[in-house]
Amino acid sequence: MADEQILDNQNPEATPDTGASDDLATRVQVLEEQLAAAQDQSLRVAAELQNIRRRAEQDVEKAHKFALEKFAGDLLAVVDSLERGLEVTSSDDASSKAIREGMELTLKLFLDTLKRHQLEQVDPHGAPFNPEHHQAMAMEESTHVEPGSVLKVFQKGYLLNGRLLRPAMVVVSKAPAEAPPSIDEQA
């Protein structure tokens, strides 16, 4: 009798159990869906890891580029003082000529050193006003330059690796106002 059951199980003509086959197909489908979800999740994790790695590399690059930002900003007061000192000393005065030359050489050395460390001076005198690099302190009427041009520079600006460290403080030109009509013209 046991031999007959074994033969029945091996007989292809025997009636298959449709319940077990449907259950197996459902289970295969569920496992395939789980596999697809796991593969999708794996791809998402790999992409996120790549994004994190790229952001970390960018952060390190920015840290290297702008590590001197605070220090450089503090040094700008020294440059400003040297420039103001040169403005107030006369190049014609023999008694202060040596001091002036020393200040000029010191300022040149200082600016060359700043330039070697990617700190660029922004001196926009005569250039069009650029709100990204200039800070307008006042507007002044002028017939000599186009409206929106920089007339005076109170304080030069600076860029560190192309990023604004300090804006230039400027006076911007504007078109002269039309003269009000005279009393005779109004009548």
The encoded tokens of residue 151 equal 């007339």
- Give pLDDT, residue 41: 95
pLDDT digits (tens, 9 = 90+) for 10-49: 554 545 556 678 899 999 999 999 999 999 999 999 999 9
- Give pLDDT, residue 80: 93
CA–CA distance, 78 with 84 (Å, rounded to integer): 10
Q: Residue 119's closest CA among 111, 107, 131, 108?
A: 111
Examine residue 1 and state whether it is found in any structural domain, yes or no: no
Same domain, 81 and 60: no
Same domain, 94 and 154: yes
Domain that holds residue 120: 69-174
Same domain, 140 and 50: no
Same domain, 51 and 82: no
Same domain, 28 and 92: no
Examine residue 166 and state whether it is found in any structural domain, yes or no: yes
pLDDT for 66 beyond 90: no
Strands 150-155 and 157-160: unpaired
Same domain, 90 and 146: yes
pLDDT band of residue 181 (cuts 50, 70, 90) is low
pLDDT for 6 beyond 50: no
Same domain, 123 and 86: yes
| Number of domains the chain is built from | 2
CA–CA distance, 61 with 186 (Å, rounded to integer): 67
CATH number at 155 reads: 2.30.22.10
Same domain, 78 and 36: no
Q: What number is the average pLDDT over the span 137-152?
A: 89
Same domain, 48 and 85: no
Same domain, 27 and 111: no
pLDDT digits (tens, 9 = 90+) for 74-124: 999 999 999 999 988 877 888 888 889 999 999 999 999 999 988 999 889
pLDDT for 183 beyond 80: no
The proportion of the chain whose per-residue pLDDT surpasses 70, expressed as a percent, equals 85
Compute the mean pLDDT over every residue in the chain, rounded to the nearest whole number: 85
The set of residues, in sequence order, having a beta carbon less than 8 Å from that of 125 and lying 6+ positions away, is: 150, 152, 153
Write the DSSP assignment of 59-125 as a string of letters: HHHHHHHTTTHHHHHHHHHHHHHHHHHHHHS-SS-STTHHHHHHHHHHHHHHHHHHHHTTEEEE--T
The encoded tokens of residue 119 equal 């700190």
Same domain, 53 and 83: no
The SS3 assignment for 162 reads coil
The encoded tokens of residue 172 equal 């911007």
R_g of the chain computed on alpha carbons: 39
- Give pLDDT, residue 68: 83
How far from 23 is each of 26, 29, 154, CA to CA, in Å?
A: 5, 10, 84
Examine residue 131 and state whether it is found in any structural domain, yes or no: yes
- Give pLDDT, residue 82: 93
pLDDT for 125 beyond 60: yes
Same domain, 55 and 142: no
Examine residue 155 and state whether it is found in any structural domain, yes or no: yes
Examine residue 187 and state whether it is found in any structural domain, yes or no: no
